[in-house]
Amino acid sequence: MPPIIQLSASELLQQIRIGALSVTDVVEAHIAQIERVNPSLNAVVTPLFDQARRAAHEADAQRDHLSELPPLFGLPVTIKDSLDVADAPATCGMLARRDRIAPQDAAVVAALRKAGAIVLGKTNAPEVCWSQETNNLLYGCTNNPWNLAHTVGGSTGGEAAIIAACGSALGMGSDISGSIRMPAAFTGIVGLRPTSATLEETGHYPLVSGRLADLEAVGPMARRVEDVALAFAVLTGRPYTPPDPAVLRGQKVAYWFNGGLTFADPNIRRAVVGAVEALRGAGMTPTARTIPPQVRFAQIGWLSYLDRDARRAIDQAFMQPGVFAEIRNHLRGKPTVAYGSLHFWQAAMMSIVSERVFNGVRWREAINRLVTAWIGEGGVIISPIFPTTAPKHQWQFFAPFTTIPYQQWVNLAGLPGLTVPTGVAPNGLPTAVQVIGAHGREDVILAAGMVIQQALTPIWNAPALASEHGASVAEKDRL
């Protein structure tokens, strides 16, 4: 059997269920891994190890008295810092929230605990989840476990990093602009962005409403598709049924390679081809698509969809006098939020211009009509999440505005999306694709994800950092 920490969530649950591993064994192994890798990663910003140990001992004491174990019994999980965990700091990476302690669990955290999961800690995120680099002035920058010199993306970067480094079996994130899917792709794990507003967001900061809620979703992340499928069933209160590839037969798979103003490199193109061929083998009919302007320039539509209430909510979430005051703070060398978050904060405030020129509601409707025409209710779209593997830190100055359409068209349309790893590129960094489905068809994209996983990554390989000798390897790669 592989080391405990390299078992998937489903494998861990099975070993606990048959009595081969105690919950304490599993929790202690993951705590030890976090303590070993986190100094290199800066992924877990709030360890909750004492609480986790108590919960593990209680679970082991109770298991013989339970007629049926809950579905996530004893599973060690981590939580993005934007989601509340009772009696733990709830900062969302913000200096202005450094002293806030959450009074209760976020809705999705409560659901995981009710199902038996044990929270190990909270993970890093940029201020207000408003950047594609996981960096903030409170906790600093999170590094990619495959190469510490490279980004994990954002905003659910801390979560992706610690799951990829085998410090956590499952985690929760949020996605308003690729924030689950991009970090999952950069770190070689699986991330599910459900259809917008599928899962309750009570206890998430910022708590979105109105048009922001149309763009966002909270969802699970893990190393294998079946683990994310199980978590999604738990979070929606449904009995778990393994993803069934039979639902794909006879359906359409649309695909393309270039989603923004930056073309996808050969490694990413090969990933798309491999995924499409796997789905062809499952009985789907592939069709190459030339993407229309609504998708290629989706960042304009996304910004145009923000109305006055959305801009006001974003502005207030930063808990500062305003974006121009923060620009002055940066010019004076006294910032209160990191540059990456300020970068996107400025863009959101300037959306008043695009809102007056373009109709974001019609843009959203146009993308949804195109998706229906391409795949109907039961097909999928395969496309890149980003045109390359994970870039180096400090990549986002102008780059996001040329690459962000790869992610944002999905959010603008409110569609479900799944990141599926496809292998490792010659540069030693993971490759991945995103699987997009019709509204409410998470069952279809999870089934497609299982097919792609079986064809391209039947065995999940951990980054060198995750092994006992790997820290020195990753540090060497950083130089």
Residues assigned a catalytic role: 80, 155, 179
Residue 382 phi, psi dihedral angles, 5° rounding: -110, 125
- SS3 assignment, position 186: helix
DSSP conformation class of 250: T
Residues 6+ apart with CB under 8 A from 351: 303, 304, 306, 311
CA atoms of 53 and 391, how far apart (whole Å) = 37
What is the phi-psi region of residue 172: left when phi exceeds 0, alpha when psi lies from -120 to 50, beta otherwise?
A: beta
Say if residues 304 and 358 touch (Cβ distance below 8 Å).
Answer: yes
CA atoms of 406 and 264, how far apart (whole Å) = 10
Which among 401, 415, 402, 397 is positioned nearest to 181, based on CA atoms?
A: 415
CA atoms of 292 and 315, how far apart (whole Å) = 32
Say if residues 226 and 368 touch (Cβ distance below 8 Å).
Answer: no
Residues 6+ apart with CB under 8 A from 313: 206, 208, 209, 210, 212
CA atoms of 337 and 345, how far apart (whole Å) = 10
CA atoms of 87 and 207, how far apart (whole Å) = 19
CA atoms of 24 and 479, how far apart (whole Å) = 38
Say if residues 167 and 30 touch (Cβ distance below 8 Å).
Answer: yes
